[in-house]
């Protein structure tokens, strides 16, 4: 005879059955789903190219008042690529006036697989004009994005300078570049003093550099010089000696001027922007070759202001990392032609000099000058940090601090601010140029202590 079960007993049997069933499922598929650790998404997945444009970056090969270059990446299914451009409109009808420019395409195989890079240069543009542009293959397009051409005359503008980003780009550099963009959203360009990445041939690191900057690269042009980490751990034999090899990513990724010394294309070059000559040097190789070229670029310079950038510092901010060869070759030219600022990286600390004239000592310790001379800056924007080697030439210095620098040129004045990763003002000064081209320095350092590591007990 069938007897009805009590409610409590039924509940117990049901739980036991469900539990047994759950255990049976776990035993069946071989996984403990409740305790399985998350898995990192593979680099091959994160950074895989598709037919849709990515890694879009603005730069220049010619006059910023009348041209603009753009570079991007796709997979190899894209056999023909284009750029479209029109004067930006307040509504969507500007697209009817867009013109199409064929792209130049380059196949590239990275450590993560094949890709195809494309570049166009938009020429015959109107100065001081906002344009809309997009890139693609005719079906797979980027969104329409904006840039503004430079003026043909000297006018006030702002740019942002970064020292080494280099390590943990997605994790730690993202907040710095985006904080800088929040402070200077109308910057004319972002300038990078080398070591954008850590491993020259790591496609994932180049991908992280673009991810960190996100859309910023598509609307604010980039000026960059290679650091030692843009050189791979490979060598090549040249007629003038053995050299390390520049990463294969550099030239496909960027479109820079080719007005530098032969064999240093797109790593040593100059650009004139609204009354300022910006000169990028390659401090990794052929220092003497660049000296002669640099002398000509400085001598034939119609601009009121001159800013030079390269990676290895003239005056190091860390003990044991002096660069006397670079200083001996290039600094006399900076003195002779009254270069205003030299922006550098490499030493993973912050150090900003006073005005330094030709009266420097051969040991790399610079003499100060109250009027006239050049300001030298070493800075770091990424998380890799070194010990500071304090020197008398340093007016302001820091350790363990990620920074970005906002620089504004307005007539006879240059305004400089160094800000920490949180946007806090850390250093500031103004240069005022007189009729003879001599600068006067006005310090505006905030009333906060220098950020220094605690000294270790002996």
Task: Please write the tens of the pLDDT for every residue from 288-298.
Answer: 999 999 999 99
The order of strands in the sheet holding 113-122 is 54-59, 68-74, 113-122, 104-110
Instruction: Decide which of 254 and 371 is more confident.
Output: 254
Check whether 317 has a pLDDT greater than 70: yes
Instruction: Decide which of 14 and 306 is more confident.
Output: 306
Superfamily of domain 51-148: Purple acid phosphatase-like, N-terminal (2.60.40.380)
Confidence class for position 251, pLDDT limits 50, 70, 90: very high
Contact 426, 396 (CB under 8 A): yes
Task: Please write the tens of the pLDDT for every residue from 105-156.
Answer: 999 999 999 999 999 999 999 999 999 999 999 999 999 999 999 999 999 9
The token duo for 58 is 């603005």
Query: Residue 77's CB: how many other CB atoms inside 10 A?
Result: 11
Check whether 10 has a pLDDT greater than 90: no
| Helix H or strand E encompassing 85 | strand 82-87
State the average pLDDT over residues 327-336. 97
CA distance 136 to 118: 9
* Angle (nearest 5°) at CA 391 between 387 and 394: 95
- Provide the 8-state DSSP code for 317: S
Q: CA dihedral in degrees (416, 420, 421, 422; nearest 10)?
A: -110
- Provide the 8-state DSSP code for 96: G
Task: Please write the tens of the pLDDT for every residue from 190-201.
Answer: 999 999 999 999
Task: Please write the tens of the pLDDT for every residue from 367-406.
Answer: 555 568 999 999 999 999 999 988 889 999 999 999 999 9
Instruction: Decide which of 12 and 263 is more confident.
Output: 263
Confidence class for position 4, pLDDT limits 50, 70, 90: very low
The token duo for 271 is 């650009």
Written out in words, the top-level CATH class of the domain with range 157-443 is: alpha beta
Please name the residues in contact with 134: beta carbons below 8 A apart, sequence gap of 6 or more. 83, 84, 141, 142, 143, 144, 145
Task: Please write the tens of the pLDDT for every residue from 62-90.
Answer: 999 999 999 999 999 999 999 999 999 99
Contact 226, 253 (CB under 8 A): no
Q: How high is the pLDDT of residue 30?
A: 57
Helix (H, G, I), strand (E, B) or coil at 299: helix
CA distance 302 to 279: 13
Confidence class for position 425, pLDDT limits 50, 70, 90: very high
The token duo for 198 is 């850590």
Check whether 222 has a pLDDT greater than 50: yes
Q: How high is the pLDDT of residue 320?
A: 82
pTM: 0.90
Confidence class for position 18, pLDDT limits 50, 70, 90: very low
Q: How high is the pLDDT of residue 439?
A: 97
Q: How many residues are present in the chain?
A: 458
- Provide the 8-state DSSP code for 103: P
Q: What are phi and psi of 72, to 5 degrees?
A: -155, 175
CATH 3.60.21.10 location in the chain? 157-443
Helix (H, G, I), strand (E, B) or coil at 267: coil
The order of strands in the sheet holding 157-162 is 222-224, 190-192, 157-162, 403-410, 413-420, 425-433, 439-443
Q: Where are the beta strands (DSSP E) in 164-322?
A: 190-192, 222-224, 231-238, 241-246, 269-273, 276-280, 305-309
Q: How high is the pLDDT of residue 31?
A: 58
CATH 2.60.40.380 location in the chain? 51-148
């Amino acid at each position: 005879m069938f007897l009805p079960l009590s409610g409590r007993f039924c509940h117990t049997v049901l739980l036991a059955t469900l539990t047994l069933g759950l255990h049976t499922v776990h035993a069946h598929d071989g996984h403990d789903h409740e305790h399985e650790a998350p898995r990192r998404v593979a680099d091959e997945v994160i950074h895989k190219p598709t037919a849709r444009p990515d890694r879009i970056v603005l730069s220049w090969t010619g006059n910023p008042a009348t041209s603009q270059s753009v570079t991007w990446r796709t997979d190899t299914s894209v056999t023909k690529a284009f750029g479209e451009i029109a004067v930006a409109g307040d509504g969507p009808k500007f697209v009817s006036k867009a013109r199409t420019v064929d792209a130049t395409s380059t196949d590239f195989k990275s450590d993560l697989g094949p890709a195809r890079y494309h570049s166009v240069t938009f020429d015959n543009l109107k100065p001081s004009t906002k344009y809309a542009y997009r890139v693609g293959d005719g079906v797979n397009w980027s969104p329409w994005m904006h840039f503004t051409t430079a003026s043909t005359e000297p006018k006030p503008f702002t740019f942002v300078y970064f020292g080494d980003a280099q390590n943990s780009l997605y994790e730690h550099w993202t907040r710095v570049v985006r904080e800088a963009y929040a402070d200077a959203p109308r910057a004319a360009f972002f300038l990078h003093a080398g070591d954008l990445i850590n491993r020259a041939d790591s496609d994932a690191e180049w991908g992280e550099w673009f991810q960190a900057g996100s859309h910023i690269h598509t609307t604010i042009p980039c000026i960059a010089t290679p650091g030692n980490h843009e050189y791979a751990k490979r060598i090549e034999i040249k007629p003038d000696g053995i050299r390390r090899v520049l990463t294969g990513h550099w030239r496909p990724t960027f479109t820079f001027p080719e007005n530098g010394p032969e064999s240093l294309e797109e790593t040593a070059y100059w650009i004139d922007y609204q009354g300022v000559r910006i000169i990028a040097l390659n401090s990794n190789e052929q220092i003497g070759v660049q000296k002669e070229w640099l002398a000509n670029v400085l001598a034939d310079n119609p601009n009121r202001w001159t800013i030079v950038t390269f990676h290895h510092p003239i005056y190091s901010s860390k003990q044991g990392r002096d660069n006397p060869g670079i200083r001996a070759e290039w600094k006399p030219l900076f003195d002779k032609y009254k270069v205003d600022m030299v922006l550098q990286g490499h030493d993973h600390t912050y150090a900003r000099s006073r005005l330094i004239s030709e009266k420097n000592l051969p040991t790399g310790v610079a003499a100060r000058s109250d009027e006239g001379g050049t300001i030298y800056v070493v800075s770091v924007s990424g998380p890799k940090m070194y010990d500071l080697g304090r020197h008398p030439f340093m007016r302001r210095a820091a350790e363990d601090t990620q920074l970005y620098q906002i620089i504004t040129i307005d007539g006879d004045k240059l305004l400089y601010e160094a800000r920490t990763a949180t946007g806090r003002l850390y250093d500031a000064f103004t240069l005022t140029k007189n009729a003879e081209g001599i600068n006067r320095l006005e310090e505006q350092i905030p009333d906060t202590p220098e950020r220094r590591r605690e000294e270790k007990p002996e």
